[in-house]
Amino acid sequence: QVQLAESGGGLVQAGGSLTLSCAASGRTFSSYFMGWFRQAPGKEREFVAAISWGGGNTYYADSVKGRFTISRDNAKKTVYLRMNILKPEDTAVYYCAASYKVARTSGEYDYWGQGTQVTVSS
């Protein structure tokens, strides 16, 4: 019932920054708990960050704490992921996801975007 579209991926040097955006359409955006995941070739999809309905609570994987920031703008129906001090190991396809409830594993999310590639060079 909701469509998600990621943007903002690209090629960046280690130590640089990127901001990903996920634009939603369909049901009221504020109805969804939102998350970001990433997947590198040959690896399972990995939780990155999540944010509650009103943006008051955020959650991060240990690997990105202090470097990444998730935020949302319900009026714009958009969730963001600001990525700082990027490392080569951050290279992956990044996916936006929506859930009806608090969720931090991929199986708990109901809707997914197509993904956007982030490549960090050394």
Strand 10-13 to 116-121 pairing: parallel
Region of 100 on the Ramachandran plot (φ > 0 left; ψ -120 to 50 alpha; else beta): alpha
Q: What is the pLDDT of residue 66?
A: 98
- CA 43 to CA 65: how far, in whole Å? 21
**pLDDT given at position 28:** 78
Residues of the chain with pLDDT under 70: none
Cα separation, 12 vs 94, whole angstroms: 14
93: tokens are: 């396809």
Which pLDDT score, from 0 to 100, does residue 38 have? 98
Give first-to-last CA distance, the chain, whole Å.
Answer: 40
Q: How far is CA 70 from the centre of its chain?
A: 7
DSSP state of 32: S
Write down the pLDDT at residue 26: 81
Q: Provide the pLDDT for residue 1.
A: 81
What pLDDT does residue 29 have? Answer: 86
